[in-house]
Amino acid sequence: MDWGRAAVETARINLNFTRLVAPIDGIAGQAQLQVGALVSLSSGPVTSVSTVDPIKVYFTVGEPQYLAWRERYPTEASREEAHKNLHLELILANGSTYPHAGTFFFADRQVNESTGAIRLAGLFPNPGNVLRPGGYARVRAAIRTEHNALLVPQRAVTELQGGYQVVVVGDENKASIRQVTVGERVGAQWIIADGLKPGERVVVEGVQKVRPGMPVNPKPFAAESPGR
């Protein structure tokens, strides 16, 4: 009777060895071993399982932007509160915006010496497993609001010997060179912190051909749509 119980217990243990259960919830990749294959420590992984809901999205920011964020929120408590209020947007590879907002997760321990950027991670809900590991996307977030900001197309701004300048069209449609102080870039536009006034006209196309005092024939600038 004892031999029979031992045989049943051995069979039960061996049967349990034929069923693999991942310690995490997620989505499994392609099986590397097929049904009937002998699995051992030396046979390699059977498959890979990735947690995808929520899914981690990694992105980088420059060291100056990272330090500016730390200066704005110098204490741990203020940073935690800022991180809670930080909503991340995900721009997918096809140009569409992912419908679910993400949250800040963590910052890496070091700055990349080659790029001068630090790696960050955000968490995005992923119902239906639309997002998959290895996918490409861009992360966007509003980190502050600047009221009455004056923006011009980036193509209107010329960098020269460490400074920035734009070509301004005066009342008599004559061009003049104006030194400006630039702020942050917002999409295809640049914030002008100083040097321009609201309502002044700047040259966007053909900036390199314009000379001071040259008469111009100004026309409204039509920015290209993102899909073009």
User: CB of 173 within 8 A of CB of 219?
Assistant: no
Residue range 132-160, pLDDT digits in tens: 888 899 998 887 777 788 888 888 888 88
Question: Residue 174, Cα to own-chain centre: how many angstroms?
Answer: 41
pTM for this model (two decimals): 0.60
| Mean pLDDT of the chain, nearest integer | 84
Residue 43 belongs to some domain of the structure = no
Q: Which of 19-23, 73-77, 157-161 has the lowest mean pLDDT?
A: 19-23
Residue 105 sits in a domain whose CATH number is 2.40.30.170
110 and 66 in a single domain? The answer is yes
The token pair that represents 195 in the structure block:
């040097």
Candidates 221, 223, 210, 208; CA nearest to 173 is 210
Residue range 177-222, pLDDT digits in tens: 888 888 877 778 888 888 888 888 888 887 887 788 888 887 787 7
Residue 109 belongs to some domain of the structure = yes
Residue range 41-71, pLDDT digits in tens: 777 777 777 778 899 999 999 998 889 888 8
117 and 174 in a single domain? The answer is no
86 and 132 in a single domain? The answer is yes
**Residue 62, phi-psi category: left (phi > 0), alpha (psi -120 to 50), beta (remainder):** beta
Parent domain of 199: 151-209
